[in-house]
Every structure is written in C-alpha cells, then in structure tokens.
Amino acid sequence: MKRSSLVIIDYGMGNIASVLNAVEFISNEKCDITSSPEELKNYKGVILPGVGAFGKAMQNIKKAGLDKAIKEFIERDGFFLGICLGYQLLFEESEESPSVKGLGILKGKVVKFKDKNLKIPHIGWNNVTWEKDPPILKGISKGSFFYFVHSYYPVFKIPGSITLFTEYSNTKFASGLIYKKISAVQFHPEKSQKNGLILLKNFWRMCRDV
C-alpha cells in the first residue's frame, strides 16, 4: 500500500490500533503514526484520538512538544480530526482537571454530565443530529447512530461553526463540531461501523484531494 496523506498522533493515550485499522481499511493506504512534533508538517491531515483523563493527556502532549506542533499545524490550515478526548483537548479547560489548561485552540469549557439520574459514563449507541451538511458528513443521514464512551463534553459558542448534537436522557450536548478545517467528535467513528467508516473516509478524501 502507498503512504497515506494523513497521520495519527500517538501521545500514549487512545485507541491507536483501532483508528489505524479503520483508516487503512477505508483508504487502502499505509497510515503513519507519530509522536514527533516535527513530522506533522509532512502531512495534509492529522487525527488526534484519545481515551482517558484530560490532565494526563495534556501532560503527555506538552512533554512531547506536540501542543505547539498541533497549534501550528492548524494555523497552517491543515485538516484536523479530533476523536473523543481528542475533541475535548481542543478547548481551554475541563472540569475533569481544573488546574490544567487545554490546547486552547477553541474557546470553551469541557463539563461533566450534571443530571444525577444519568448513568455515567455515557456508553453505547446514540444518535447525532446537525443542521448544515459539511463534507465530512456526506453520505450520512441526520439522526444516525454512533458509539459513545464519555463522562464529559464541551460547552462552547463558536460563530461560524457547525455543531453536532446528541440527547442523553434530558441532556442535550454538543457531540461534535466542524469549524474551518477542524472536525472533532465526541463519539468513536472507528467503533461506529458503517457511519463511522463513512466519516473517516470523507476525512481521508478531504486530505487526499487537497
């Protein structure tokens, strides 16, 4: 297989193998994994996955120098996809780790589900809706189901962004956003079967066709 136009960031937290297998399946290309800040400039697209604690993730990212590299990549107008914790890390702070600053690429705060009647974490299949149709969601019907595993979600108001919404019991939360060339989702596309693979394939095509 030829080399992919996108790379997956490995900072010691996340379902790297699952994301890698899904990207290689939909693209039939050899996808790279890197923990090197210098290597990001060699790609058109970056995927930042993540599972675990916000504070530990930022500690690992900063230790590797990836925080500055990710910001510079986005500033250069590269295509970016954040998955689960990789979505939350884009924001300024999180209730999970109050003393830790996030990447701060997007203005907003990550909060915990407040409804005591909810089963936390939110695990399993749930539907996702949106208003405008961005390229990364092409071929996916509004209200389609994706797989979630999380206790926190971002709260934000970003003019010009497209927000994805999901309802968990009586709580409606932002399950993703698209802003310029940033796409980020709370659910796991690599675990979401057909719809998740379509999303990943759309992202890969966006990177490939630049």
Instruction: Point out the residues that are catalytic.
Output: 84, 188, 190
β-sheet bridge partners, residue 110: 94, 154
Detail the DSSP E strand segments found in 49-181. 79-83, 93-94, 109-112, 122-127, 145-150, 152-155, 162-168, 171-179
Specify the DSSP class assigned to residue 98: T
Give the Cα separation of 141 and 81 in Å (integer).
Answer: 20
Pull the structure tokens for residue 28: 């039939």
Give the Cα separation of 91 and 176 in Å (integer).
Answer: 12
Contact 59, 181 (CB under 8 A): no
Q: Which amino acid is at 132?
A: K
Contact 150, 53 (CB under 8 A): no
Q: Give CA separation, 145 vs 1, 19, 39, 166, 187, in Å.
A: 31, 18, 34, 10, 10
Task: Give the Cβ contact number of residue 125 at 10 Å.
Answer: 12
Task: Give the Cβ contact number of residue 175 at 10 Å.
Answer: 27
